[in-house]
Structure 1
Amino acid sequence: MRKNRILLICGLLLALTACSSIRQQAPSRVTLAKDHPFTLPQPNSYPQKITATQLVSGKYKQQTHSLQFQVEQSPERLVLVGISPWGGELFSANWDGKEIKTSSLPAVSKQLQPLYMLADFIITYYPAKVLSPLLARGGMTLQDTPLTRSVLVDGKPLIQINYQYPDHWRGKITYRHIQRHYSLTIETIQAQH
């Protein structure tokens, strides 16, 4: 009896949070640092179609949170969905090259902004030849090697990324946004190319 009651309460809470999500359209531009905008590249500029499941741990101000991400990258769109430990959708971002549609639970939207998570993903995975001119338009430069990537402002690191393997869909990735004081550890559990 008690078990059924707990399941009913969890189900109701999940239904209520799903009903209260915030849906909005966002600009295709993200401010990575003060006075340094980054225009998102078109989804078709990524060289392959991929579907992936990732575990992402984020650290900000001594707090660490872990989420599962579902990623779908195709020439038509990039979709990023953050899933809670109980299996519910916390946020999503869908970029089709014309508009970005985001949705998130109200409590989540203040902490994890889907637009910024989308930009973090793009900076981590998109080819340097695609990113470099877009970052340059915002006054930033990109340094890229098979195992590291840095976004620089005035020669100083703004974002630092370390890859475990040259195939960035294998192993662990550490992403650090120096100015905003947060870091991500990304591990791809499953990827289908």
Structure 2
Amino acid sequence: MILDGKFKTLKTAALALMLSACTAMPQSQTPEVALNDKVSVQLPSARSLGYSLTASQLIVATWNADESKRSEQLPVQLQVSADKLVLAGFSSWGTRILSLEYQDDQISTELLTGLKGVLPQPEQVLFNLMITLWPSSAWEAPLNKVKWRIIDTENSRAIFNSAGEQVIDIQYSNADKLAGEIRFHHLIDDYTITITTLQRQIAPLTP
């Protein structure tokens, strides 16, 4: 995932959004996401999570800017079923500012006009959630296609590029990933994302 400074001007853009009438711009594409400027990976299926999930989460991005640390928050709602995944991101006052639906090998996204280039793309937010929550078995085949690797230990996950260099370090504060804080650190671009699940409902997948 490439942060590209997307969180850096979220508050400024949010103010501009409040002062202007903005409409959503839908887009549809194949389920791929950029790992870097040259490599994209196909996302695992929603079903490969292994269970149905409805969760409220808080994503906090932290990075260095102008010789000081900066951070921004993005509350999200995630719903995963046997055949579909729905993701929505909200402003601090509760307005939906991005959304994504992943079904039938297609991703449809909406990002409020005026926020393109400011917020991360919805599929990049989805990547952060999927690379941290989905089992490594769901990621092995997609990553192998681009010669990347995923290695799990008891409470951590490491992602290596085709040169064998570790790119992403993920730490779990609890063996139950949804019960504790997840810390995602991009070692190349030097930014950190923490994911905290505030509420969750889990159920077996339907046939």
Give TM-score, length-normalised by structure 1: 0.86
Q: 1:15 deviation in Å?
A: 8.3
Q: 1:103 to 1:110 in 2, by over 3 A?
A: same
Q: 1:192 aligns with which of 192, 198, 201?
A: 201
Give CA deviations for 1:79-118 in whole Å, capped at 9, x if unaligned. Answer: 1111111000110111113210101123433131111111
Number of residue pairs the alignment of both structures matches: 181
2:188 aligned residue: 179
Report the alpha carbon displacement of residue 35 of structure 1 after superposing the two structures with TM: 3.3
Q: CA deviation at 1:14?
A: 8.0
Alignment partner, residue 35 of structure 1: 38
Q: Tell me the SS of whatever aligns to 1:94.
A: strand
Gaps of 5+ in 1: 1-9
Partner residue, 1:120: 128
CA offset digits 1:126-163 (Å, max 9, x no partner): 11111012111111000112310111012211111110
* Residue 96 of structure 2: aligned partner: 89
Structure 2 unmatched ranges of 5 or more: 1-14, 203-207
Higher relative contact order (CA 8 A, sep 6+): 2
Task: From 105, 109, 117, give the equivalent of 2:112.
Answer: 105
CA-CA distance at 1:120 after TM superposition: 1.4
Q: Give the 3-state SS of the residue equivalent to 1:85 in structure 2.
A: coil
Secondary structure in 1 aligned to 2:21? helix
Match of 1:25 among 14, 23, 28: 28
Cα distance in 2, alignment partners of residues 169 and 157 from structure 1: 24
| Structure number with bigger Rg | 1
* Partner-residue secondary structure (3-state), 2:34: strand
Contact 1:43/1:97 (8 A) holds in 2: no
Q: For residues 83 and 97 of structure 1, what CA distance do their matches in structure 2 show?
A: 25
Among all aligned residue pairs of Structure 1 and Structure 2, give the percentage whose two residues are the same amino acid.
28
* TM-score when normalising by structure 2: 0.81
Please tell me the root mean square deviation across aligned C-alpha atoms, in Å. Answer: 2.0
Q: SS state of the match for residue 16, structure 1?
A: coil
- Mapped to 1, the partners of 2:186 and 2:29 lie a distance apart of 21
The answer to whether the aligner puts 1:16 opposite 2:21 as a matched pair is: yes
Query: Could you say which structure has the higher helix fraction?
Result: 1
Within the candidate set 129, 143, 149, 2:137 is matched to 129
SS at match of 2:193: strand
| Residues 1:150 and 2:153 aligned together | no
Question: SS state of the match for residue 189, structure 2?
Answer: coil
Question: C-alpha separation between the residues in 2 aligned to 1:70 and 1:170?
Answer: 16
Q: Secondary structure at the match of 1:188?
A: strand
